[in-house]
Amino acid sequence: KAGVTQTPRYLIKTRGQQVTLSCSPISGHRSVSWYQQTPGQGLQFLFEYFSETQRNKGNFPGRFSGRQFSNSRSEMNVSTLELGDSALYLCASSYDSYEQYFGPGTRLTVT
Amino acid sequence: KQEVTQIPAALSVPEGENLVLNCSFTDSAIYNLQWFRQDPGKGLTSLLLIQSSQREQTSGRLNASLDKSSGRSTLYIAASQPGDSATYLCAVSRQTGANNLFFGTGTRLTVIP
């Protein structure tokens, strides 16, 4: 069974631009969660999608948004990028509310 | 708000030693607790998951225990190996079972050959 995949793996953007990251969950998993990891704040929950609906949301500004498609693939979008958005973005998939499996992450650098 | 703390922040041990990593959380109303390892620049690998109704879980040389009432979990690693070198993170999920994990800051483990 293929694991969680994330694309792209690395990304460099300029301040003020927007970016879209993609996550493909493990086959059969309906839940996709997104996390931001930075050296200063550690791992923080962004949001979770379950069956195309946002089920939970963390404490991030509205510049961070996401969606989930009918095949459970998910995208997250960050608009008007700031230097502080530089981070490793991880997505995790789960079959309902159980063990979460993480992808390799997308390393975003904002210059 | 749930806060998760891991002590120590870093640990260095000689190969073959048994060791214990600690995790504490402030809100005992959790659904489950999960231990992960993270290699530098990589994603997270799930090691063990303990449901709130369970006391411990074992996988190979790893044993995790949970004391929900005191807000504590430990990860025991037996006969450590250099390949165990990584950052170990614990994370708890809320009572409702929603998939938003609260993570600790991690323990960076180095096993010296």
For the segment B78-96, what is each residue's pLDDT rounded down to a tens digit?
A: 999 999 999 999 999 876 6
Q: What is the Cα–Cα distance from A15 to A83, expressed in whole angstroms?
A: 6
Which of B110, B90, B100, B93 lies closest to B6 in space, CA to CA? B90
At residue A6, what are phi and psi to the nearest 5 degrees?
-130, 140
Decide if B35 touches A, using CB distance below 8 A: no
pLDDT in tens, B21-72: 999 999 888 888 999 999 988 899 999 999 889 999 999 999 999 999 999 9
Would you state the pLDDT for residue B97?
55
CA distance B97 to chain A (A): 5
Cross-chain Cβ contact B103/A43 below 8 Å: yes
Residue of B nearest to A39 (CA): B105
Cross-chain Cβ contact B32/A45 below 8 Å: no
Cross-chain Cβ contact A48/B97 below 8 Å: no
Q: What is the Cα–Cα distance from B50 to B83, expressed in whole angstroms?
A: 24
Tell me if residue A29 falls in helix, strand or coil.
coil
pLDDT in tens, A18-68: 999 999 999 999 999 999 999 989 999 999 999 999 988 999 999 999 999
Would you state the pLDDT for residue B29?
86
Is the predicted pLDDT of residue B112 greater than 70, yes or no?
A: yes
Question: Which uninterrupted H or E stretch holds B102?
Answer: strand B101-103
Cross-chain Cβ contact B98/A48 below 8 Å: yes
Would you state the pLDDT for residue B98?
66
Would you state the pLDDT for residue B3?
92
Residue of A nearest to B94 (CA): A97
Cross-chain Cβ contact B99/A102 below 8 Å: no
